[in-house]
Chain A
């Protein structure tokens, strides 16, 4: 029997980036805000201090900061004809948990999507014809929100993080040194770009020779010390090369811990309860109103937490599962195409090209999560897709996130995976190689979706989430085309040799690709095609808001965090300026 607790104005489910952002915005407006986080408290000096943060075995391979899949996982299959099985070891994506969650162990790659990315259906239809968005059973949609509407909120996230970069389009004026393809920015980046090391510099030179438009990757690894709008402080990155999968030991990577929590935790009207896992959103008898959430703490005790507003800000896979478990919205059916919850699950289409030099010392251990020179010439609709047979694209990055000794030793094509020959190749190439990353979009597809598994259950007895996903031909064609473009730049760097790591065959749960899972709780302009409206508000239960990349109707060729954060700020503003005055649907269906 759950114990009923004192009601609060807002309950936040999951305390990573979006929970912290919305929590701060709503607590600042004076609301009584309670955040429930299933994992533990985490902070820099206690969980990833400089004396032990750079421990590849502990964090990367033994998953110290990640979800323990023996407590909770999901089941996976490529298509409806297969039986999904539980993912018993993390692989293709690394699920976060604990305070800060993925915001602790991300790389700090801060992107904005292109204006045309928000109009995937209408824009491509108009330019390439109706078939372009329905070929291969694609189910792409427009977002229901535009780049122009989100721009101030992208900017708000940059100000929070102190993002280091160079604007390429400032108020419509193309700027030298930045990304000329980006949407118009209302402000320059808060801090200048990180100085580039040798590898990215060689990449930029070669790309420019080919007529591409290289620019420094925008980073949440800061180029200089920064104090944000909340008074929180970040230091300058020291290029230790332990960002992705690691917490930052010296306060130089933007995270909830470095940017929001010092300010938010001191607010008397904000409370955080850790090790409290929400089981379900509780609804009124007519199922149009959430009364609060039921959660269980680490002692196994159950509580009902009444709240006027429920913010779902856990990772997308948890958010979608909570919607399904709580009966909010109609589950998607891939046979009929009816229903919306779980629809349009998408991912990121990754490939890469390794370059090996004889005469150049790259020193890859001098790295940072987003340390890269990038070309965006072949992303989104920055290039003419006529006759190519696909939509979407990728950025190509000459990138050095680090030279971690277990994960990041590159050897040429044909090298054995172990033994003496491998050792010789590793020793010869470690200092003289790096990788070009091809970070591709992933369009949504009729057969890719999320639902509840009919067989497998978690420690609480709840059905696990089931993921049905494979790359479509659109993604394979896009990825091949883009990998070839990356290879051109790689060759122009005059290396001894290169190695192409194409995306071939069906998606597999190993090896690691990226933790950019998207969709399933998608946004749109009508309850017929989406779970939430442009303010991330549930069409069905108007006091439930679902944050995160679950809102993406399909995934663009960029890292999602910038857009996730902008959507969260946009939603928080709508709650404060519109919803509180007149609780109910913010968009009439």
Chain B
């Protein structure tokens, strides 16, 4: 009996950690920017040419790895400096702040040795010997070579030092005991590249796999979590939930995944954040801005080749929608959505995504589509397509029932099929996004 209690106790702790790990979300999730998006300028550091010199090759390799690894998605807060951290990640157990990884010796990692950096990247242990929370993607970064880690550290040491100390984490017990993470490590590390490489895989496929399972850490969002917060076995890349956004299925599923996408569709999306099928918003918008838009064409192509090889996920059943809800939803759609998505939902190529055969709309979990309608979403700007095209929030304008109806309509029109949405679903997410009060703001009316 005591043994059983002990096991249950460990499981509870693990679940708490797992919950925190997946529920992290940005501090101000609902607000659209009311000022210029200065963080786009900060990203330009990753494109700054590195002058010729004795270790230029290593520094260029490190800079490129900083793009592949999407470091700035987390290590840059609004109006902050590149790599200085301080972005607050909300969890049910408190807030985790990203660390300063600029070259500042006191607040950043300017004094770190290559051994210490390798240990952080590989084992999730920092220079002081403390466990890092797995919001830092060392479970994927451990697949980088020692040479890569050395190059990345060498590059980070050339970035402008920023004397900024991110706030301390505000976590409750037991999350505030970093040693608890050690337990997690024992069971939760995701698969490594090369483990399942098929016979005769092309060098391009192998490169794609190395990026996706390594620095790209794609499955951190796109694979559903098991109760311990690890990749669910057998469900690789079948879609997850992060930050109240759906990270869609990346398998060959034609409804919810990339089944209808060509390799060129994927590379264009990664390059510009937009194509004729979809637009990258929310966390993926950041990934485009800080990472994939700055990769080489070859690497984007390799990622696409690898993703297109993923076998289709099983098609989930969906229940039929109430015709009355569909009818109401069609009216809401005509009023609120057609200015951009147009009356037949075909959208405008690379500007406003078409909603027919739309993967985000058809995810089994409607959270993604509801989040977009409630809070709005901005497409990640990229150097070649800098326009931060933005869908505005409709939380202030549409009721829960109206959002449920229009979502149900979208999920079951123009070739789409997915389970209906209820007003209760909308109310729940509205509450999580702190949009309970339909308020008139600067964004929605005279003031």
Contact = CB atoms under 8 A, between A and B. Distances in A.
Interface of A: 41, 43-47, 49-52, 55, 58, 62, 64, 225, 227, 230-233, 235-236, 238, 240, 249-251, 258, 261-263, 265-268, 272, 274
B40 interface: yes
B387 A231 contact: yes
B240 interface: no
Max chain A Cβ within 10 angstroms of own Cβ: one of B352, B384, B387 = B387
22 contacts: A44-B390, A45-B378, A46-B34, A49-B390, A50-B336, A50-B392, A51-B444, A52-B397, A52-B443, A52-B445, A64-B446, A227-B385, A230-B386, A233-B351, A233-B385, A238-B338, A249-B339, A250-B340, A251-B389, A262-B388, A265-B36, A265-B37
Given A45-B392, A52-B445, A265 B385 contact: no
Q: Which 9 A-B pairs have the closest CB atoms?
A: A49-B392, A45-B390, A262-B386, A50-B339, A233-B387, A262-B387, A266-B40, A45-B392, A235-B351
Contacts of B336: 50-51
B348 interface: yes
B44 A266 contact: yes
Interface in B14-46: 32-38, 40-41, 43-44
B350 interface: yes
B349 interface: yes
The interface centre, meaning the residue of A47, A49, A236, A272 with most chain B CB atoms within 10 A of its CB, is: A49
A64 B37 CA distance: 23
A58 B351 contact: no
Contact of A41 (B34, B392, B394, B446): B34
Contacts of A44: 390
B381 interface: yes
Most B CB contacts (10 A, CB to CB) among A230, A233, A262 go to A233
A33 to B, nearest CB: 13
Given A233-B385, A250-B339, A251-B387, A265 B443 contact: no
A289 B35 CA distance: 34
Contacts of A251: 351, 387, 389
B337 to A, nearest CB: 9
Interface string B320-349: 000000000000000010111010000011
A41 B351 contact: no
Nearest to A262: B386
Nearest to A62: B446
Contacts of B34: 41, 46
Interface in B403-442: 442
B348 A50 contact: no
A47 B446 CA distance: 11
Contact of A238 (B38, B342, B392, B443): B342
B351 A231 contact: no
Contact of A266 (B386, B391, B442, B444): B386
Contacts of B443: 45-47, 49, 52
B345 to A, nearest CB: 14
A235 B340 contact: yes
B161 interface: no
Contacts of B396: 51
B44 A268 contact: yes
Contacts of B386: 230-232, 262-263, 266
Contacts of B36: 41, 261, 265, 272
A51 B393 CA distance: 8
A328 to B, nearest CB: 31
A353 B126 CA distance: 77
B44 A51 contact: no
B392 A231 contact: no
Nearest to A55: B445
A54 to B, nearest CB: 9
Nearest to B289: A266
Interface in B31-70: 32-38, 40-41, 43-44
B44 A46 contact: no
Contacts of A64: 446
A154 B36 CA distance: 29
A249 B396 CA distance: 17
Q: Which of A49, A266, A268 has the most CB of B within 10 A?
A: A266
Given A45-B392, A268-B41, A268-B44, A232 B32 contact: no
Contacts of B32: 45-46
B257 interface: no
Given A45-B376, A64-B446, A232 B387 contact: yes
Nearest to A260: B386
Nearest to B352: A235
Interface in B292-334: none
B394 A258 contact: no
Nearest to B44: A268
Contacts of B388: 262
